[in-house]
Amino acid sequence: MTLSSNNMSDPMPSPLDLAQQALSDGLARVIQDYRPGYHIAPPAGWMNDPNGVVYFRGEYHVFYQHYPFEAKWGPMHWGHAKSADLVHWQHLPIALAPGDDFDRDGCFSGSAVVCGDTLALIYTGHTWLGEVGDERAIRQVQCLATSTDGIRFVKQGAVIDSAPHDAIMHFRDPKVWKEDGYWYLIAGARLGDRPLLPLYRSTDLFTWEFLDYTASGSAGDGYMWECPDLFPLNGRDVLLYSPQGMQPQGYERLNKYQTGYRVGRLDSEWHFTGGPFIELDNGHDFYAAQTFSGADGRRLLWAWLDMWESPMPTKAHHWCGMLGLPRELELRADRLCVYPARELTALRKAPLPSTPWWDGPGTRWVQQVNGDMLEIHVHLDLLGCTDGHLGIALRCSADGREETLLYHDASLRRLVLDRSHSGAHTTGQRSVAIDPGQERLELRIYLDRSSIEVFDENGRFSLSSRLYPQTDSLGVKLLASGNGGRVSIPRAWSLASGWL
């Protein structure tokens, strides 16, 4: 694959030029109050799914769904950022803009791979066949764009120009990987209200052979599986996807849409057989996760740290959307374990004073730990904790009106993230079950201006949510009610900016 030259004689600005100019013009209107300090977010305009995440020529590249003209969803472009260390990022020019016959109304999600000395983007070209927004009449094809410098991309057109069944219109989000000398591509598809995952094979990224539907849904599995990802881990195969249309059940699947996985095996006939669907993150805002194999072989993951139809007050600030922290995945038995990428320790400033064990009752301000860009380690000693709540309050206002609560509920045996008083338009609780025999919880919490991400130190769960408190709501409290148990903050740091 080679990079073709652009026609420099054409005086009309290209769609890419117009998009880049709109992004530049939008920077002056951006209000910084909620903008993250060390997460990936668009310079201005809208962001949703991470697209290609890839390691190319010694640097990590993250692409994302982007609309640079306004802070709302629109004809999708591909935004682009890169980093040498997974911590310090810089924005690059917009990589893809819609406008050709095959992607006239959007360059939808996809993936990135390295082929020789070329960086290749494989994405869904989207076209409205009727009125804009009418999903009953759309055309979606899988497209290729290539670059030899990792910055400027040349579209190669549609390389899969039809779905494997004539009745399929929703056909998107290709994930591509190389194995045993072949390129493989898995995509999400919808036949009626049945989700399907077609699998393809190629030798050159241009010509693709349909192999089979590697997996499909049945009653209760939703109607569409977006952003599928199939990868090996510890001798097993993991199918990661984002289903639409699954119904809530108890404490599970409370968001409009979910991201989760099944652990199993892809057989020689290209069929995946696996265990039950398990949500990957239990917070309010986590969707469209995508993984790749890092330079050292670790399986790394990014996700969109928002949710469709959720509160997005930053639209009024002329930007919207952010990605979660890069995460490491490990497989333990039939469960994925999730950890913040180890490189993130480079963000730490001087350590803040530790807070000794405290057993209540009531609440206690932690004067030495406060801020909106923090990493806080919280330990909960559950021994003898028979009732009440035990945990921490974050982003607290001085008058007590704003706070984000993270606590163990002894009667429910659940860890609860409560953002009922977390600021503008936020509400609701999310939680994870805690083993009744567990005597200690060790948590790692990241705050970044308008987000919280909570990780179990042993990788068993995470909870990720957006928050929109007042900028001066910076306090931290310990909380303990009921009988037994105690809480401490053994380690904490203020965090530096992640932007170059």
pLDDT tens track for 126-185:
999 988 888 889 999 999 999 999 999 999 999 999 999 999 999 999 999 999 999 999
* Residue of 49, 103, 173, 372 with catalytic role: 49
Summarize pLDDT for 271-295 with one digit per residue, the tens. 999 999 999 999 999 999 999 999 8
Question: Can you tell me the distance from the alpha carbon of 211 to that of 157, in angstroms, rounded to the nearest whole number?
Answer: 22
Instruction: List residues bridging with 127 in a β-sheet.
Output: 139
DSSP secondary structure code for residue 416 in this structure: E
Tally of CA atoms within 13 A in the half-sphere of 250 that contains its CB: 8
Say what the pLDDT of residue 125 is. 98
Q: Rounded to whole angstroms, how far apart are CA atoms 320 and 98?
A: 20
β-pair type (319-320, 45-56):
parallel
Which among 268, 479, 498, 234 is positioned nearest to 362, based on CA atoms? 479
Coil vs helix vs strand at 486: strand
Give 332-393 as a DSSP string.
Answer: ETTEEEEEE-GGGGGGEEEEPPPEEEE--SEEEE-TT---SEEEEEEEEE-TT--SSEEEEE
Q: How many residues does the chain have?
A: 500
pLDDT-above-70 percentage for the chain = 98
Strand partners, 443: 378, 456
Q: What's the pLDDT score for residue 8?
A: 52
Q: Does the active-site annotation cover 134?
A: no
Alpha-carbon gap, residue 498 to 81, rounded angstroms: 12
pLDDT of amino acid 135 = 85
Residue 3 DSSP one-character state: P
Domain boundaries, the chain: 15-340, 349-495
Q: Flag residues of the chain having pLDDT under 70.
A: 1-10
Residue of 262, 361, 268, 341 whose CA lies nearest to 300: 341
Residue 307 · residue 286 · CB < 8 Å: yes
pLDDT value of residue 24: 97
Same topology between domain 15-340 and domain 349-495: no
> Superfamily assignment of 349-495 in CATH?
Exo-inulinase; domain 1 (2.60.120.560)
**Domain 15-340 -> CATH class:** mainly beta
- Whole-model pTM over 0.85: yes
350-409 residue pLDDT tens: 999 999 999 999 999 999 999 999 999 999 999 989 899 999 999 999 999 999 999 999
pLDDT at residue number 9: 57
